[in-house]
Chain A
Amino acid sequence: KQEVTQIPAALSVPEGENLVLNCSFTDSAIYNLQWFRQDPGKGLTSLLLIQSSQREQTSGRLNASLDKSSGRSTLYIAASQPGDSATYLCAVDGANSKLTFGKGITLSVRP
């Protein structure tokens, strides 16, 4: 059974800092991994999707990497801003877009 872990549960950083959010998963037989952002009272927004054959994806200040063999992914946020404050969830797709989610990391970027 796939398990996805995100540690720590919460993170507070000053504005401008580069930061790395970690995600680990137990079963390396995945089709892809997605990083989502969730704002309070809102739905999830897909940030990046990495196919199992890829090593990384970039979008603006975000870069996500995937090491399938070791069961790890990282989301790198460059030059963090207060607007980046949200909960970031990673999810792995085993089949049929049946995603297994981590609990998320709640990020607070202090002005």
Chain B
Amino acid sequence: DTAVSQTPKYLVTQMGNDKSIKCEQNLGHDTMYWYKQDSKKFLKIMFSYNNKELIINETVPNRFSPKSPDKAHLNLHINSLELGDSAVYFCASSLRGGQEKLFFGSGTQLSVL
């Protein structure tokens, strides 16, 4: 009955590989997000989708491609992984996407070797 769930929890991979992180929310929310927490613990937004439509696209390398098949899912695909991509990636959701509480998943720790 987890509200925002993301898989996998840990991802260890080699440079140059392509990987995906999946996120699902069962809260009936319209808006979903991807945040990145780097080694210095700074959390920064990467993308947000409202009802499958891209709303926020921060300055993120185009190796990162979000995909929202429906409003309950927002997956993150990363091509040609680099060492600097190592971080914890958090998925989140909110009811409508404006000035509301955010609900976060437990994070995916990505380690690129």
Residues of A at the B interface (CB closer than 8 Å) are 31-32, 34, 36, 41-46, 49, 51, 87, 89, 91, 93, 96-99, 101, 103-104
For residue B100, which residues in chain A have a CB less than 8 angstroms away from its CB? 49, 97
Which one of B42, B44, B94, B106 contacts A97 once the chains associate, using CB atoms below 8 Å? Answer: B94
Contact of A104 among B41, B56, B104 (CB under 8 A): B41
CB distance from A8 to the nearest CB of B (A): 14
Min C-beta distance of B4 to chain A, whole Å: 7
Q: Is the CB of B48 within 8 A of A96?
A: yes
Contact of A46 among B99, B102, B107 (CB under 8 A): B102
> Chain A contacts of B103 at CB under 8 A?
46
Q: Which residues of B contact A34 (CB under 8 A)?
A: 101-102
Interface footprint category on B: 20 to 34
Q: Establish whether residues B101 and A46, one from each chain, have CB atoms under 8 Å apart when the complex forms.
A: yes
Instruction: Kindly list chain A residues whose C-beta atoms are within 8 Å of the C-beta of B105.
Output: 43
Neighbour of A43 across the interface among B44, B98, B106, CB < 8 A: B106
A97–B40 CB distance below 8 A: no
**What separation, in Å, do the CA atoms of A41 and B88 have in the docked complex?**
10
Pairwise interchain contact A96-B43, C-beta atoms closer than 8 A: no
Interface of A is mostly: strand
Across the interface, which residues of B come within 8 angstroms of A93, CB to CB? Answer: 99
CB contact under 8 A between A43 and B41, given known A49-B100, A49-B101, A96-B55: no
On whether the beta carbons of A101 and B101 are closer than 8 Å, the reply is: no
Write out, one digit per residue, whether chain B residues 37-80 have a CB within 8 A of any chain A CB (1) or not (0): 00011111100100000011000000000000000000000000
A89 to B98, CA, bound (A): 20
Across the interface, name the chain A residue whose C-beta is closest to B101. Answer: A46
Question: In the complex, what distance in Å separates the CA atom of A31 from the CA atom of B98?
Answer: 9
User: B33: which A residues are within 8 A, CB to CB?
Assistant: 97
Shortest A31–chain B CB gap in Å is 5
Cross-chain contact A42 with B42 (CB below 8 angstroms): no
Question: Can you list 13 A-B pairs, Cβ within 8 angstroms, ordered by A?
Answer: A31-B98, A43-B4, A43-B90, A43-B104, A43-B106, A51-B99, A96-B56, A97-B31, A97-B48, A97-B97, A97-B99, A103-B40, A103-B42
